[in-house]
Amino acid sequence: MLMKKIFIVIAAAFISLTAASAQSAYSYEKFVSSEGQSLNYRLLEPLKVEAKKKYPLVIFLHGLGERGSDNEKQLFHGSQIFLNPSNQEKYPAYVIFPQCPETTFWAYDNIPASFEDMTPAENMTIVFRALKEMIDEYRAMPTVDASRVYIMGLSMGGMATYDMVARFPEIFAAAIPICGAIKPGRIAAAKNVKFRIFHGDADFTVPVECSRRAYRELKAAGADVEYFEFAGCGHGSWNPAFNMPDFMEWLFAQKLKKNRK
């Protein structure tokens, strides 16, 4: 019992240290849209930005539990993979972790009542419009490679990932929705985006059929899409996803085709 308690204390200390590492590495930022909507976000820049080089842009959208105004909770999942020294050396990029305000739901006016009827906000929510505007500003930066813009998200953020690429497929080279969902029939619009989809088959929060259906629709549309389903995994399918040996290699290998904007 004593050894178990010691292990728990050590584990808690490790989590605290890694969280602190992420907090210090990602700068605190705020974007204010043309409509006056504020959007907190954290930014990780390449270790050394060279003026004549262009770097990929990664957008990471968190889940429901990380909403708020502290500009910190959104780093809880996923931020560490970009801080791995080897990854920072091999895959220098601008990495953005925006934080969704407590009262909103990224792409939707409210939490969808049904995964079968996920009606999107007609003109996008004001927060999602601010996010798109911020992405466009970064894409226009001289040191950002606009042909290598990537978006990923988990749970609520996975739903938002689907929504964003369905609306603006021409700007994203790759998308990684993790345990996400989208209204049937919408995702085929993003057939030119490279996809990796992840889900656990024991997910009782977002049914695994949501990802299976999105995969089938993308395949039917001729998309370049891979689907990974984790046996016995519940809602936290982001953990095995981030531990895929080629997770970063696949992501940063993607690039828009020349005939796309």
pLDDT tens string 41-95 = 999 999 999 999 999 999 999 999 999 999 999 999 999 999 999 999 999 999 9
Helix-strand-coil split of the chain, %, nearest 5 = 35, 20, 40
Confidence of residue 15 (pLDDT cuts 50, 70, 90): very low
Contact 154, 178 (CB under 8 A): yes
In this prediction, residues 200-211 reach a mean pLDDT of 97
- Residue 160 is predicted with a pLDDT of 97
- Residue 260 is predicted with a pLDDT of 52
Question: Quick check: 7 pLDDT over 50?
Answer: no
- Decide: helix, strand or coil at residue 198: strand
Confidence of residue 116 (pLDDT cuts 50, 70, 90): confident
In this prediction, residues 175-180 reach a mean pLDDT of 98
Q: CA-CA distance, 22 to 68, in Å (whole number)?
A: 18
Question: Bridge-partner residues for 28, per DSSP?
Answer: 42
In this prediction, residues 167-187 reach a mean pLDDT of 97
Average pLDDT along the chain: 91
Question: Quick check: 210 pLDDT over 70?
Answer: yes
- Residue 22 is predicted with a pLDDT of 67
Q: Identify the CA nearest to 223 among candidates 193, 256, 182.
A: 193
The owner of tokens 């345990």 is 179
Confidence of residue 6 (pLDDT cuts 50, 70, 90): very low
Q: CA-CA distance, 172 to 136, in Å (whole number)?
A: 11
The first and second tokens of residue 6, run together, are 């010691």
